[in-house]
Structure 1
């Protein structure tokens, strides 16, 4: 059992620490919502992963890794990320972003949902679970049955909580030292990164169609 847990933790870290749209969003929200943002976003991400594990067990892995699913996820997800990124850039240009703490309940709910949506917007994330994740899940199931799958799942999401929590605490506790002008620049850069990821997802989906 410890082998399954720590193996899942290691594999989880290998994916969590890679730069991507979810990390970009976590940094952005940690600046405006404080150190708790990463944990809330990671929870949304974990809920989606639980849903994917259930789908895989129900035999939907072949659907998730199909070209049609990859194209649909790439187009819809890419457009969503591009929109979010442009909104951040425009907000920065118009000076509508603020470093002041905002931890209202609606914000928490929004971050929870966004944690799941931004993850779902990444076709590579879905494909990983349908192919690589399937292998690890079946290996865990063969070793300890459903208990093995549960242990693997918690080991995997623990990596997300540790990494995104660390990033969130680091950014959330040091943001008070940021000059407002520098903050606006950082928001614009993070927005540009989301636009980049969005365009890449749409491009890859278009290539599959053509």
Structure 2
């Protein structure tokens, strides 16, 4: 497979993963609805930074380490804790009296922007199935792309991440526009549902950690 084939297939495979519901999708929806589409893209940036670092590590041959069940179990447990915190905070914030819809992230709001990037990183690192995917499918792609050295890795990552940008960018735009059209009561209900989803994912990841360790 040449560079063009790697780029196209990486995009299509990445697209299938990007559209799947999960912590990253939920966090993107929530941040974009509350702070605008730019916030959702900052979440996507945090996700991309983590994946860029991981591609470098995988190119150095660390894929077998990532596939160790105990390590995946540790990631599952950490993810459960992070999602419990994020989900609980979201449900709590949904019923704050000073809830504001769709506050634009301005260029001067560096702390808020960094918080969005950090949320994307946390939602990514806290998902054990993201790690499993990269230790298997992703690692295979990295090995194939490594035949073309740095250009191959760049093309693979570009194709893969562009799928995330497309999907999460569209989700961010729709969430930001939609938040302007719904009443505050419905918006609080939406945040509550999203928070409960994250709490449910936390329970599921906690169970997965138990399975990886003792199953």
Long gaps (5+) in structure 2: none
Q: CA RMSD in A?
A: 1.3
Question: Once the 2 structures are TM-superposed, how far is the Cα of residue 208 of structure 1 from its aligned partner?
Answer: 2.1
Change (3 A) 1:94 1:36: closer
Inter-CA distance 97–203: structure 2 relative to 1 (3 Å threshold): farther
Residue aligned with 2:180, SS: helix
Deviations 1:163-190 (A, max 9, x none): 1011101111231111000000000000
Q: Is the 8 A contact 2:44 2:165 kept in 1?
A: yes
96, 99, 103: which one aligns with 1:97:
99
TM-score, reference length from structure 1 = 0.95
Counterpart for residue 113 of structure 1: 118
Question: What are the ranges of 5 or more consecutive residues in structure 1 without an aligned counterpart?
Answer: none
Would you say the 8 A contact 1:79–1:199 is kept in 2? no
Q: Tell me the matched-pair count.
A: 209
What is the SS of the residue equivalent to 1:36? helix
Contact 1:85 1:190 in 2 (8 A): yes
Aligned mates of 1:55, 1:35 — CA distance in 2: 31
Q: TM-score, normalised by structure 2?
A: 0.92
Matched with 1:164 is 168
Cα deviation for residue 95 of structure 1 reads 3.8
Aligned residue number for residue 180 of structure 1 = 184
After TM superposition, give the deviation of residue 42 of structure 1 in Å: 1.1
- Deviating beyond 4 angstroms after TM superposition, the runs of 4 or more aligned structure 1 residues are none
